[in-house]
Amino acid sequence: MIALTFDDGPKPERILPILEILDRYQVKASFFVVGKMANQNRDLVLRMAASGHDVCNHSFSHPNLTTISPEQVRMELRQTSDVVESITGKRPIYFRPPGGNYNDSILSIVAEEGMSTALWNINAEDFTYIRPLRDSGSPPRESFFRHSDGEIHELVMRKARNGAIVLFHAGGRETETALPKLIIELKSRGFRLVTLTELMTGSSQLALPSRSRS
Active site (catalytic) residues:
7, 169
Cα–Cα dist 172/175, whole Å: 5
Cite the beta strand spans of 73-148 per DSSP E: 94-95, 116-117, 122-123, 128-134, 140-145
Cα–Cα dist 149/165, whole Å: 19
**Residue 165: other Cβ atoms inside 10 A:** 20
Torsion over CA of 94, 208, 149 and 191, rounded to 10 degrees?
Answer: -90
- Contact criterion met (CB below 8 Å) for 32 and 96: yes
**What are the φ and ψ backbone dihedral angles of 143, each rounded to 5 degrees?**
-110, 135
Q: What separation, in Å, do the N-terminal and C-terminal C-alpha atoms of the chain show?
A: 19
Cα–Cα dist 99/129, whole Å: 8
Tell which residue, 3, 4, 1, has the closest CA to residue 170. 4
